[in-house]
Structure 1
Amino acid sequence: MLDLLRLFGQVVEEQSFTVVARKLGISQPAVSNQMRALEEKLGVKLLYRKGKSFALTPEGETVYRHALLLNDEWTELMREIGGSERVMNGKVHIGASHIPGEYLLPIYIASFRKLYPEIKFKLSIGDSLEMAEKVLANEVDFAVIGSVFDTEKLTSEFWLQDELGFVVSSEHTCSQKKIIDINTLKENPMIVREIGSGHRRALEEALVKRGLDLNDFNIALEVGSTEAVKNSVRAGIGYSFLSKHALEFGDSHGLVWTNVEDFYIQRGFYLLTRRNKTLTAIADEYYRYLAGQRPIQRTKFRSQRSDREVRNPS
């Protein structure tokens, strides 16, 4: 039964009977037959056709959730009875907010897989609140986000420091200024991230310290990703505040980082897990790997019109 549930989990993750069959070295009809056998054993329909693909029935969603939990428990059981020997293969499912998910984790996943090439990863990216909900629902092993969630069921561990800075298009008049008064920005169009993002929360907290609120500013555009912010600034819609990591590891062409007087936005990235939940052997190994990492050696981001370097985080 456990083997059938594992196979079912693979089918759901890959969204393809054919892909699973190819990876397992069996025929596609064999996978289909196994899925039918599982449905017969459980007495419920798990999948239904949706165009060229398929979707989970409500019962299928419930079975998939429990299949993940049972697989985790089995892996943990094998780890415990195997003493120090760990089964270092399988898949780790990581949740991440946009900055760590798009710019940092790919680098750390690549370096980790050099140590354990048999381990595969799934990376789900969304805002910090969405990823916290996925951890709570056991939909990911753990998450890396830009906000702290220390609750009855969730716990956060500090990972890396981040800094958000004022960014404009290289064609913007502010790109020539060495320092800017934040009060002069109130009437200029501003681009912000959506509610629920750690990025927006950090900006709002920094404004409160200056006795300001986002409602004091001219919000021209609200977007759901860092790349959308960058492209919107580059297009000249307005200015924004962006993470250094998004500039140093991503495309910074056409963007200029300028200092705002007495206005600093610093935040952390955190490793988020469920309290009292034991990670699988491979998820725990990767968690410990991330927790032990030093900040990545970065290349300085330079503005388009000067040699001013981005200020290092204090």
Structure 2
Amino acid sequence: MNLHGLRLFHHVASLGSFTKAAEILLISQPAVSSQIKQFEKELGIALFHKNGKRFTLTPFGEALAQKAELFFAHEIQLEQFVQDYKTAKKGRLHITATYLPANFLIPQWAAAFKAANEEVEISITTRNSTEAFRELIHYKADMAMYAGGLEEQMEEVEWRQLFQDEIWFVVSPQHRLANSTVSLDDVMKEPFIMREAGSSTRERLFSLCHTHQVKPPKIALQFTGLNEAVRSVMTGYGVNFVSSLVVKEYVKTGQLARVFVDIAPVKNIIAICTRKGENLPPVVKEFIHLCMESSKHSNAGE
């Protein structure tokens, strides 16, 4: 079917006038009439009954006008869908994230993004670093947000660093090492409360021991959640090695205390990871941009 002819017919039928259709389409009225005649000839079916200068739709013309109205309404919806996709107003975004960004960064950023892009579907899964990278590489997530060391950077992953934060040794304020400066060997003799094997921070603790040739600590209690581990330390038992993002308010309010260890500060890299060389969908690009701008402003304010 000649879609140009159908479009002309749709305008004439919906406006009830060849002249008004010509004005909307910015062409002459005789040109509209001529092209409608050609469209009728191509169809082999009359669209209009004509009585002098007046016209009415034939039964077929009325039926076709109804279908044309639906057709071009769908066309407008498709055009809007494409435009929304280009501007990240629609789509789906699946984020896999390690515990730290999933609990302390993404909620605020996702809420801000959702407020500006209500029809974008966002799903967030919390994984340890091993699982997060596996999901990203196997296309089960659009992006991964990671907190850990550069040693976990993979060749097939593109890395966008947002910022760094220090990892602290923390204890209960009543603990014998609270607010004291000790050697790494001394603190490693204490029982530790940590997340499960596979978490980035736990792996870095053991890597730190290996680097300084110190015997690794005993993991006395193990949790799948970071908050649970921190709250257990608050009760007075054990040491936790944890991001300052998680515990700095607890330290400030006296619910936890730092243990200062005589080694260079250990830092976390907070990064957004995507598959290397991939042409990212607009919704992913837009979310990454928001995260980078938000982290830039929050760090500037500290």
Give the shorter-chain TM-score range.
Answer: 0.5 to 0.7
SS at match of 1:238: coil
The two structures, once aligned, show a CA RMSD in angstroms of 3.1
SS at match of 2:161: strand
**In 2, Cα distance between equivalents of 1:189 and 1:130:** 27
Quick check: 2:250–2:256 contact (8 Å CA) kept in 1? Answer: no
**In 1, Cα distance between equivalents of 2:113 and 2:88:** 15
Q: After TM superposition, give the deviation of residue 278 of structure 1 in Å.
A: 2.5
Quick check: 2:85–2:282 contact (8 Å CA) kept in 1? Answer: no
Match of 1:242 in 2: 242
The reply on whether 1:172 has 2:175 as its aligned counterpart is yes
**In 1, Cα distance between equivalents of 2:102 and 2:153:** 21
Q: After TM superposition, give the deviation of residue 86 of structure 1 in Å.
A: 2.4
Listed as ranges, the matches of 1:97-246 within 5 Å are 97-147=98-148, 148=150, 149-175=152-178, 177-214=179-216, 217-246=217-246
Quick check: 2:243–2:268 contact (8 Å CA) kept in 1? Answer: no
Quick check: 2:194–2:219 contact (8 Å CA) kept in 1? Answer: yes
**In 2, Cα distance between equivalents of 1:180 and 1:296:** 32
Match of 2:289 in 1: 288
Listed as ranges, the matches of 1:250-261 within 5 Å are 254-261=255-262
**In 2, Cα distance between equivalents of 1:182 and 1:150:** 26
Q: Which 5+ residue runs of structure 2 have no aligned equivalent?
A: 1-78
Quick check: 2:188–2:215 contact (8 Å CA) kept in 1? Answer: no
Q: After TM superposition, give the deviation of residue 192 of structure 1 in Å.
A: 2.5
One-letter identity of the residue aligned with 1:174: L
Moved more, 251-260 or 268-277: 251-260
**In 1, Cα distance between equivalents of 2:212 and 2:122:** 42
SS at match of 2:162: strand
Identity %: 21
TM-score, scaled to structure 1? 0.61
Aligned residues, how many?
A: 221
- Residues 222 and 288 from structure 1, CA distance in 2 versus in 1: closer, same or farther, beyond 3 angstroms? same
Match of 1:28 in 2: none
Quick check: 1:202–1:267 contact (8 Å CA) kept in 2? Answer: no
Moved more, 283-292 or 244-253: 244-253
Match of 2:68 in 1: none
Q: After TM superposition, give the deviation of residue 267 of structure 1 in Å.
A: 2.1
- Residues 250 and 94 from structure 1, CA distance in 2 versus in 1: closer, same or farther, beyond 3 angstroms? farther
TM-score, scaled to structure 2? 0.63
Moved more, 239-248 or 109-118: 109-118
Larger Rg: 2
Quick check: 2:194–2:223 contact (8 Å CA) kept in 1? Answer: yes
One-letter identity of the residue aligned with 1:232: S
SS at match of 1:254: coil
Quick check: 1:206–1:264 contact (8 Å CA) kept in 2? Answer: no
One-letter identity of the residue aligned with 1:281: P
| Greater share of residues in helix | 2
